[in-house]
């Protein structure tokens, strides 16, 4: 759901209450379902209980958590690297490093990415803390929503943050492009008199999305997960059926006391010919093959439709480099889409932060930042080094080093290689100089012996007057 308000229309109390009501509905009917799925709370646990005489196992296989954690680890398991243009000042790089370290941004990025995986979107809010530093924090869709204008560019107009106190009273804040206001909802909106200028050139928040549709990573397979949980629960029930089968007693009639709670005791009793008394267990038809086919089919479809690789597959770890890439192709496509969306969000992050005077940066310095995403996948360093070696003289050094997964910063590696080469050159020059000095000392000693002088006097003479080549 996208909240929109025309540019010429102000956010009134009635309109804000309307947006809050729509947000609450989306949280109750969509986001809670997704949150429950990630936390292993599925429909199977809320079905009507079966009669006491029937096995009623409830098993849930949490594919939602598996797909989220697997894809999120693949996408951002390696922290995002930020580089700056060569012509940029060192102040930009130092400030970004300080900002990210101050806010523990590697962890923030990972958590924000996971929120997008679960809900399809997440939020990042910026503020100036009590120490005068810029702070960055992430929020789930339960805690906030963004209001856009109705233009084709869909510009941010208001950011609404919500929270409920211990008395179940709703509080919140509304940020526009200049200030922040706070309110309490008690039948109507009660606004605080204090307003704060936030100092950012725009609404101080960013909405990050998983994709254009804002759907979560496992949302397309939710029905399959529910069907899988039902199938495997019934499979478990069948095991109990076989382990605790009905006893049939045919040919005699038991007394009422003997067959009290007959269904709970799993006994079937029919009167008949006493001479043909039959006592044994009633076998249920075997549907194991059908059930196994259904379970296997559902599992394959879940991974196929979600496009997340089943890395627990026993054949996955034995695949070659090319085969591995093919198995990860679907997940790589998802990661590329998310990378573009995440890059857009990070551009807005640093654009807003650099616009605040507290940062000390120029407003357009953010365009000099570049973000590098490295998928977290197993790598064959030997195979990569062979490929890189074969590329020598064919492609540039930058492209050649880019093949190696152990090199996370190609330009930095090139600089280190150049530095090592310069050091080697210096050592070679120093070695030649050392040899030259030793040769000079030997010559001075020989000259002093031939002329009956002290080597020190000869050395001083060289420094003061020089030695005639004929004399040498």
CA distance 271 to 253: 5
> Are the beta carbons of 160 and 174 closer than 8 angstroms?
yes
| Radius of gyration for the alpha carbons in the chain, expressed in angstroms and rounded | 37
pLDDT digits (tens, 9 = 90+) for 300-359: 999 999 999 888 776 665 566 667 777 888 899 999 999 999 999 999 999 999 999 999
Q: Taking every pair of C-alpha atoms in the chain, what is the biggest distance, in angstroms?
A: 143
Residue 110 pLDDT exceeds 70:
yes
Which is nearest to 77 in space by CA: 373, 347, 350? Answer: 373
> Are the beta carbons of 119 and 216 closer than 8 angstroms?
yes
Segment 84-88 long-range contacts (CB within 8 Å, at least 24 positions apart): 84/368, 84/369, 84/370, 85/368, 85/370, 87/368, 88/365, 88/368
Higher pLDDT, residue 429 or 400: 400
Q: How confident is the model at residue 85 (pLDDT cuts 50, 70, 90)?
A: confident
As a residue count, the chain comes to: 472
CA distance 331 to 342: 16
CA distance 45 to 65: 17
Which is nearest to 33 in space by CA: 222, 261, 304, 314? Answer: 222
Cα of 161 vs its chain's centroid, Å: 23
Neighbours of 9 (CB within 10 A): 11
pLDDT digits (tens, 9 = 90+) for 256-269: 655 555 555 555 55
CA distances (Å), origin 194, targets 17, 179, 182, 209, 347 = 21, 10, 8, 32, 31
Q: What is the pLDDT of residue 301?
A: 95
Q: Which residue has the tokens 């309490």?
A: 184
Which is nearest to 267 in space by CA: 276, 277, 284, 254? Answer: 254
CA distance 33 to 41: 9
The strand ranges marked E within 363-466 are 369-372
Helix intervals (H) in 328-409 = 329-355, 381-390, 397-402
> Are the beta carbons of 58 and 45 closer than 8 angstroms?
yes
Task: Print burial letters for 403-415: b (CB count within 10 Å at least 16), e (below 16).
Answer: bbeebeebeebbe
Which is nearest to 10 in space by CA: 161, 125, 147, 130? Answer: 147
Tokens of 246: 């009905």
Q: What is the SS3 assignment for 441?
A: helix
Which is nearest to 382 in space by CA: 354, 355, 406? Answer: 406
Q: Which residue has the tokens 């009623």?
A: 56
pLDDT digits (tens, 9 = 90+) for 163-222: 999 999 999 999 999 999 999 998 899 999 999 999 999 999 999 999 999 999 999 999
- Contacts of residue 174, defined as CB under 8 A and 6 or more positions apart, other chains included, come to 11, 16, 158, 159, 160, 180, 181, 182, 183
Higher pLDDT, residue 28 or 446: 28
What percent of the chain clears pLDDT 70, i.e. is strictly above it? 82
Q: What is the pLDDT of residue 429?
A: 53
pLDDT digits (tens, 9 = 90+) for 39-82: 999 999 999 998 877 788 999 999 999 999 999 999 999 999 89
> Are the beta carbons of 455 and 445 closer than 8 angstroms?
yes
Residue 425 pLDDT exceeds 70:
no
Dihedral angle at the C-alpha atoms of 448, 449, 451, 456, nearest 10 degrees?
20
Helix or strand run (H / E) with residue 370:
strand 369-372
Tokens of 361: 């940066």
Q: What is the SS3 assignment for 243?
A: helix
Mean of pLDDT over the chain:
84
Residue 133 pLDDT exceeds 90:
yes
Q: What is the pTM of this model?
A: 0.77
The strand ranges marked E within 228-356 are 246-250, 267-270, 278-282
Residue 247 pLDDT exceeds 90:
no
- Contacts of residue 462, defined as CB under 8 A and 6 or more positions apart, other chains included, come to 444
Tokens of 435: 């040899």
Which is nearest to 310 in space by CA: 334, 327, 295, 285? Answer: 327
CA distance 133 to 12: 32
Which is nearest to 157 in space by CA: 6, 14, 15, 21? Answer: 6
């Amino acid at each position: 759901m996208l909240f929109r308000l025309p540019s010429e229309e102000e956010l009134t109390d009635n309109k804000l209450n309307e947006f809050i009501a729509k947000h609450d509905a989306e949280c109750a009917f969509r986001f809670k379902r997704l949150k429950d799925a990630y936390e292993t709370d599925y429909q199977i646990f809320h079905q009507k209980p079966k009669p006491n005489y029937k096995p009623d196992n409830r098993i849930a296989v949490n594919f939602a958590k598996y797909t989220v954690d697997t894809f999120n680890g693949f996408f951002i398991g390696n922290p995002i690297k930020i580089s700056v243009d060569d012509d940029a000042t060192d102040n930009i790089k130092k400030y970004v490093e300080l900002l990210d370290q101050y806010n523990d941004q590697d962890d923030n990025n990972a958590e924000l990415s996971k929120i997008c995986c679960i809900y399809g979107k997440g939020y990042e809010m910026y503020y100036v803390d009590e120490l005068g530093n810029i702070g960055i924090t992430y929020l789930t869709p339960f805690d906030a929503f963004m209001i856009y204008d109705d233009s084709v560019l869909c510009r941010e107009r208001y950011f609404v943050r919500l929270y409920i106190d211990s008395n179940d009273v709703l509080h919140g804040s509304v940020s526009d492009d200049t200030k922040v206001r706070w309110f309490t909802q008690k039948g109507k909106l009660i606004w605080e008199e204090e307003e704060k200028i936030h100092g950012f050139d725009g609404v101080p928040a960013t909405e990050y999305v998983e994709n254009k549709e804002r759907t979560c990573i496992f949302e397309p397979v939710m029905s399959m997960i529910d069907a899988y949980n039902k199938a495997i629960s019934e499979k478990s029930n069948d095991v109990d059926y076989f382990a605790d089968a009905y006893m049939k007693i045919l040919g005699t009639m038991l007394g009422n006391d003997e067959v009290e709670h007959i269904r709970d005791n799993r006994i079937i009793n029919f009167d008949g010919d006493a001479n043909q008394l039959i006592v044994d267990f009633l076998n249920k038809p075997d549907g194991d093959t059908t059930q196994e086919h259904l379970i296997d089919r559902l599992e394959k479809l879940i991974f196929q439709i979600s496009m997340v690789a089943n890395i627990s597959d026993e054949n996955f770890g034995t695949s070659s480099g090319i085969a591995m890439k093919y198995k990860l192709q679907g997940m790589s496509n998802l990661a590329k889409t998310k990378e573009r969306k995440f890059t857009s969000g990070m551009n807005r992050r640093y654009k807003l932060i650099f616009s605040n005077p507290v940062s000390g940066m120029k407003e357009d310095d953010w365009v000099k930042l570049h973000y590098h995403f490295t998928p977290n996948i197993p790598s064959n360093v030997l195979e990569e080094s062979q490929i890189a070696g074969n590329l020598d003289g064919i492609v540039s050094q930058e492209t050649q080093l880019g093949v190696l997964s152990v090199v996370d910063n190609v330009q930095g590696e090139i600089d280190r290689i150049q530095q090592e080469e310069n050091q080697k050159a210096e050592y070679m020059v120093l070695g030649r100089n050392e040899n030259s000095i030793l040769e000079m000392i030997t010559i001075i000693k020989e000259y002093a012996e031939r002329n009956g002088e002290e080597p020190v006097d000869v050395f001083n003479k060289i420094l003061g007057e020089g030695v005639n080549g004929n004399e040498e």
